[in-house]
Amino acid sequence: MTPFCISSDVLGSEKHMLVDQSGFVTLDKIPPDVWTLSKSIDSRRRLCLNSALRLNRSSVSIAPPDKWVKAMSILTKNDVKWSNVLPPDEYKRFVKNLVKSILGNIEDLPQEYCRVTWSSCGDLLAALKPAKIDTALFRELSGGGVEHGGGALESFRPGGGGFASPIHYDRFGTRTGRLTVASGPNILTLKKDHRKILRSFYADGKICNLDFSSLEARIILYEAGVRPTGDDIYQQISEDALGGRVSRDVTKVAVLSELYGISKAALGNRLSMSGKQLDDFVASIRNYFKTPELKARLKEEYSTLGKIRNKYGRPLFIDDPSADHLLVNTYAQSTGVDVSLLGFKSIVDTLGADGIRPLFVLHDALILDVRGDRLVDVEAVRSTSVPGYSSNFPLKFETVHN
């Protein structure tokens, strides 16, 4: 069995409990290398059992029977020391049921995914720094600096020292794991023109970003055994799959249609194609990406497990698995989330913290605050290696402003 620890805040006791094949023991300190159940997700803990349960849509009841919870809620709003409140037999039953519930779930959890990929991506998000804000420009854009209600711009309101509050992402908010903002500056919905409120912490610094090129299309090509060789993937597809007979832009529309489920009729209307010409064109794209084979594989996985998994093992739940494009899109987008975060972590680790402050992840882009003398180092980052792939993913560099 997989050993695990139940924290004292769940047990309502002074000590934590370690459970393994030999039984259980109480501890003053939680071991760092053991799966641990707490009252809430602990993003600092690499083996957070709460995260693994939520990823798998599994649940463990951490409360005693309702009659005790209701009775104590009348007396106190604070955490209850259940070991002191419940009768000994009731407390023993509560702990026994809790252990039994964990044992019934733990072996089915995505343990390897959480231990390696999930935690590494979390390390990147934890390394993000508060962004410096141009206070005068913020006041101008937000209406004189008075409280201006909600909205993305308002979430960047600077506090002491002219910094926005730290950003915290929700990694569970979407089906695929694509990030949403739980609290702090909502960079995901901020108007592009309003990003000019970001100012460098360094006197000679610049705000810049690195972002992946055509990430999800590349991921599906890798699945098909095709190694994308250039920065412009759509030009490569146009030449390899279509013999250069179709322009790069038309190819891009067809690829996105295949990945995101636009109907053949809608594609034909958009490209002014019909009949055999349209059928042959769509067939060429599908054959190149081998999407029918990927769909069949994902359908079989769903039929067996009741879910699919991205390349790294994240469980993915789909309400309508009969929608073929949804299987492919979900797989590609979720894998893309992990690829981008793992790639950005590799970049941040390699560049180091001297003169470089990572600020935000904006889907496939990483926004950085870079000191003047380090800008050349960031500009030189043209690709990144990512675990699980034999070749690097290309990146685009852009300077936003000072």
User: Is it the case that residue 335 has pLDDT exceeding 90?
Assistant: yes
77 pLDDT tier (thresholds 50, 70, 90): low
Q: State how far Cα 350 lies from the chain centre.
A: 21
127-160, pLDDT tens digit by residue? 999 999 999 999 999 875 444 445 899 999 999 8
Q: What is the pLDDT of residue 76?
A: 65
Q: What is the pLDDT of residue 74?
A: 65
- E-state strands within 257-386: 308-309, 315-316, 356-362, 365-370, 383-384
Q: Which residue has the higher pLDDT, 173 or 149?
A: 173
Q: Which residue has the higher pLDDT, 74 or 288?
A: 288
> Look-up: residue for tokens 């002491």?
160
Are the CB atoms for 368 and 357 separated by under 8 Å? yes
CA distance 325 to 65: 44
- The residue extents of the domains of the chain are 4-109, 122-215+336-401, 226-289
Q: Among residues of the chain, what percentage have pLDDT more than 70?
A: 97
Least reliable range by pLDDT among 54-58, 140-144, 290-294: 140-144
Side chain identity, residue 342: L
For residue 87, report the phi and psi dihedrals to the nearest 5 degrees. Answer: -60, 145
Are the CB atoms for 151 and 124 separated by under 8 Å? no
CA distance 30 to 38: 11
Are the CB atoms for 200 and 132 separated by under 8 Å? yes
Write down the pTM of the prediction.
0.91
Average pLDDT over residues 379-388: 94
212-253, pLDDT tens digit by residue? 988 999 999 999 998 887 788 888 888 888 787 778 888 888
Are the CB atoms for 367 and 205 separated by under 8 Å? no
Are the CB atoms for 119 and 127 separated by under 8 Å? no
CATH code for the domain defined by 122-215+336-401: 3.30.70.370
User: Is it the case that residue 279 has pLDDT exceeding 90?
Assistant: no
299-302 — which CB contacts under 8 Å span 24+ positions?
Answer: 299/324, 299/327, 302/327
Q: State how far Cα 334 lies from the chain centre.
A: 8
For residue 356, report the phi and psi dihedrals to the nearest 5 degrees. Answer: -135, 120
Average pLDDT over residues 104-119: 95
- E-state strands within 277-333: 308-309, 315-316
User: Is it the case that residue 365 has pLDDT exceeding 80?
Assistant: yes
Q: What is the pLDDT of residue 146?
A: 47
User: Is it the case that residue 269 has pLDDT exceeding 50?
Assistant: yes
Average pLDDT, the chain: 90
Q: State how far Cα 375 lies from the chain centre.
A: 27
